[in-house]
Amino acid sequence: DSCWTDRIAMEQSIAFLREGVGQCSCTSTPAVVGPAKSSTTIAVQNLLQVFHIPQIGYGATTADLSDKEQYGYFMRVVPADTWQAKLVVAMLEHFNWTYVAVIYSAGNYGEKGFEELERMINNDLSENVCIAYSEKVKSLAEPAEFDKILNSLSSQKSVPQVVVCFCEGLTMRGMFKAQQRLRKRNPEMRPFQWICSDGWNDRLDVVNGVELEAAGSFSIRIHSPHVKWFDQYYFSLNPENNTHNPWFREFWQEKFNCQFTVPKDDFETKVCTGQENLAINYKQDAKLSQVVNSIRVVGLALQALYNDRCRENSTMCTEIFALNGTLLLKYMLNVTFVDQFNQEVYFDASGDPPAWYDVLNYVGGEEGFRMVGEYRKKTDIMFYDKTNQIPESVCSKPCKIGQRQRETAACCWICEDCLPHQIIDYTTRTCQNCTLGWWPNDDHTTCYPLVHEGPDWSSTGIILALLLASLGIIMTSFTVLIFIRYNHTPVVKSTTRELSYIILSGITICYAVSFAVLATPSFTTCFISRTLPPVAFSMIYSALLTKTNRIARILAGSKKRILTKKP
């Protein structure tokens, strides 16, 4: 028993190594199962691999243990935390929680779990999720330390409502109790939506006394079905039929708070009868199915090793006693079977099994934990139950069409409108002008060429304009012909023929330009519509000015002669 501490685990390991390896015993330890804690497993593995003793874990999930160069004699029946980090990201994507905080336990389990989660988010496994706040905390930290973390989280400019906790059970309980204290001081404080790793699992001792704070939280559990046959076996045990276990009587006394041997003058200590009921306050450990599979892996490997080495020896096989840990590890890695729970168990080159997780939702009350989804290595996360109301955890809402994001803080931005003729580059988050003759599409993501549309000569307005222009040209041409026909008559001469012809030419050009203005735009029509109208008006008004000036001079001379005439 490691008692969940590295020191005791090392003491126990050294003790059985001294008995087994130090002496030439034929009953040496072939393999070690456990312990459950990642940091404790690493400490034990550093010792066991020196003596080439295989170790199989049923609860250690840190990704470091997948490194065979550093931990060459370790394998496990539980998936590495790399897959757990992928599950957390999948949950955040599923509920559209893009603005989150992360709290993690000090030590290998929490720190490596956070590193995996951060790496996956930064490596674009999720394009939307952003870690707005992160903090490390010791599992046995003082309550003030937990309060400090939640106060710091609540004082953020934009407070994330979802908190991921890559924590051990004690850390998760400390966070729930801190939230409970803060809400007592500030009843209006909104509780956080918690997502906890498998450090919490489905342990009720974590939420004892803080059920209201934990209600609605999600917990991840390595898929571990209930071992029914173990309950029957366990309930049938008593100190009389389990004498081969030297610690069972001590366990019995501790569980029922009694003693088998009590002094005659001690009337306060309860006497154990051996008939106490083991079913009282019993809850099967969630890791039991993994322990069963771990033992089965070792047993199947030993059986395969025996069949290969002792197949032709029907009596005593001495080769099996000279057990080689390196060879046994090879057989253990090659074990493949379908367990009693219909789980396929096999191992990759790193000694890791396929991932299979259960997603639990703590609802409190008698129901406790409710299984709401599962996640496997080869499938996406699947939920088969939904909460009534999903909280939001975003800093800024998505911008509307035609707006760009301008970041103000991590995962936060403000939306700014682009001009109507601009598109949005979502890579650089800038507004860019469309080139001449192009226009943004409805989403303002690309420019498209504008269609050249010319006047429709079949429309009523254009037909009427062309008819009037044609009539004007005909009437002006008719006037010119009359002037030419009577060019030498006194009437025509008196109109200043040259200036009259210039005026009539300018009028004809004005009417003719109407056809160029109403035609399909081209270089020629645009040139004519821009240059000829000013020329035509210049011809008309300059000729009129000259005629007016000439007539004014003639009249001025006639008036002078009349005034100077003698009587």
How many Å from the N-terminal Cα to the C-terminal Cα in the chain? 153
Task: Give the CATH number of domain 1-78+290-339.
Answer: 3.40.50.2300
Which DSSP category does 51 fall into? G
| Confidence label for 406 from pLDDT (cuts 50, 70 and 90) | confident
CB 196 within 8 A of CB 171: no
User: How confident is the model at residue 354, as a pLDDT?
Assistant: 92
Backbone angles phi, psi at 338, to 5 degrees: -105, 120
Residues near 479 by Cβ (< 8 Å), separated by ≥ 6?
A: 504
Q: What is the distance between the alpha carbons of residues 503 and 544, in angstroms, rounded to a whole number?
A: 7
Q: Give per-residue pLDDT as tens, 185-223.
A: 998 888 999 999 988 888 888 999 999 999 999 999 999
Q: Is residue 259 exposed (0-12), middle (13-18) or buried (19+ Cβ within 10 Å)?
A: middle
Q: Give per-residue pLDDT as tens, 95-150.
A: 889 899 999 999 888 999 999 999 988 876 666 788 989 999 998 899 999 999 99
CB 139 within 8 A of CB 171: yes
* Angle between helix 108-122 and 38-48 (nearest 10): 110
* Residue 22 scores a pLDDT above 60: no
Angle at 385 between CA 381 and CA 387, to 5 degrees: 110
Residue 104 CA to chain centroid, in angstroms? Answer: 18
User: How confident is the model at residue 67, as a pLDDT?
Assistant: 93
* Residue 396 scores a pLDDT above 70: yes
Q: What is the distance between the alpha carbons of residues 144 and 151, in angstroms, rounded to a whole number?
A: 10
CB 41 within 8 A of CB 74: yes
User: How confident is the model at residue 172, as a pLDDT?
Assistant: 94
Q: What is the mean pLDDT of the chain?
A: 86
Q: What is the distance between the alpha carbons of residues 420 and 476, in angstroms, rounded to a whole number?
A: 47
User: How confident is the model at residue 23, as a pLDDT?
Assistant: 52
Q: Give percent of the chain with pLDDT exceeding 90.
A: 45
Q: What is the distance between the alpha carbons of residues 194 and 393, in angstroms, rounded to a whole number?
A: 11
Q: Give per-residue pLDDT as tens, 314-369.
A: 556 766 666 788 999 999 999 999 988 888 899 999 999 999 999 999 988 778 89
Q: What is the distance between the alpha carbons of residues 419 and 458, in angstroms, rounded to a whole number?
A: 36
Q: Give per-residue pLDDT as tens, 65-97.
A: 999 999 999 999 999 999 999 999 989 988 889
User: How confident is the model at residue 16, as a pLDDT?
Assistant: 76
Q: What is the distance between the alpha carbons of residues 269 and 305, in angstroms, rounded to a whole number?
A: 52
Mean pLDDT, residues 480-506:
87
User: How confident is the model at residue 20, as a pLDDT?
Assistant: 60
Q: Rounded to two decimals, what is the model's pTM?
A: 0.66
Backbone angles phi, psi at 60, to 5 degrees: -75, 120
Residue 101's DSSP bridge partners are 133, 163
Q: Give per-residue pLDDT as tens, 265-289.
A: 888 889 999 999 999 888 888 889 9
Which CA distances in Å does 449 have to 374, 421, 430, 477, 521? 50, 12, 21, 44, 16
* Residue 28 scores a pLDDT above 80: no
Q: What is the distance between the alpha carbons of residues 213 and 520, in angstroms, rounded to a whole number?
A: 74
| Confidence label for 184 from pLDDT (cuts 50, 70 and 90) | very high
Higher pLDDT, 497 or 248: 248
Dihedral, 38, 43, 45, 46 alpha carbons, nearest 10: 140
Structure tokens at 10: 């090392």
Tokens 């209600």 found at: 215
* Residue 264 scores a pLDDT above 90: no
Kindly report which listed range (2-11, 184-193, 369-378) carries the lowest average pLDDT score. 2-11
* Residue 21 scores a pLDDT above 70: no
Task: Give the CATH number of domain 82-223+355-383.
Answer: 3.40.50.2300
CB 377 within 8 A of CB 354: yes
